[in-house]
Chains A and B, each alone.
Chain A
Amino acid sequence: EIVMTQSPATLSVSPGERGTLSCRATQSVSSDLAWYQQKPAQAPRLLIYGASTRATGIPARFSGSGSGTEFTLTISSLQSEDFAVYYCQQYNIWPLTFGGGTKVEIK
């Protein structure tokens, strides 16, 4: 199976600053990469699919990039509601797999 590795495990950022999250796959997944946001006691929410396409209703401060094995989620100016855990997921090859998550916390 494809293993997805996210870094860092925890990202400490001040409100208004830029946050950059990374996701790496053990083999190419083309652009079949999604990002999700999960807040405590809530279900995950789709942010990005196709590596760079924002889902419906997602603010423009969220952007995704990359292809193959290296991907990045950038939050251009962190707002209070953005502090959460973020997961990447590949859907190129079954079984579908998630990364371990990056917790974005207030610095």
Chain B
Amino acid sequence: EVQLLESGGGLVQPGGSLRLSCAASGFSFSSYGMNWVRQAPGKGLQWVSGISGSSGSTDYADSVKGRFTISRDNSKNTLYLQMNSLRAEDTAVYYCAKGDSKWYFDCWGLGTLVTVSS
């Protein structure tokens, strides 16, 4: 069974940093692209960043480009999101989402809440 488990969320002050992790199991992790998708309270879904399986090529939403960095450790079956220079508008539940043959998301974690507030 495919499982994704996020961790690392919490309360952080504006301008601060946080690193999210997503532990994956039940599939060949290195073979699939992985993503972070966020949802602000009461709002819709927003793709944040994605990373390919083997080559490690990455892309980001404009709203986080230059502040967030996605990475993966295929030996540990873990996806990461390093978030710097956090802003109030980054407050959201952050989901880890697995890609499939293309960049749609066939499995999601339960999410981890990031709150940016003073």
Contacts and interface: CB of A to CB of B under 8 A. Distances in A.
Interface of A: 1, 32, 34, 36, 38, 43-46, 49, 55, 87, 89, 91, 94-101
B44 A101 contact: yes
Interface size class of B (residues with CB under 8 A): 20 to 34
B103 to A, nearest CB: 4
Contacts, number: 57
B102 A32 contact: yes
Interface string B54-73: 00000111100000000000
A46 B106 CA distance: 6
Contacts of A45: 108
10 contacts: A44-B95, A44-B105, A46-B107, A49-B100, A55-B106, A89-B104, A94-B50, A95-B47, A95-B62, A101-B44
B14 interface: no
Interface in B59-118: 59-62, 95, 100, 102-111
Contacts of B109: 43
Contacts of B35: 96
B31 to A, nearest CB: 17
Given A38-B45, A44-B95, A44-B105, 15 more contacts: A1-B62, A32-B102, A32-B104, A36-B45, A44-B45, A46-B104, A46-B107, A49-B104, A55-B106, A87-B45, A91-B103, A94-B50, A95-B59, A96-B50, A98-B46
Contacts of A32: 102, 104
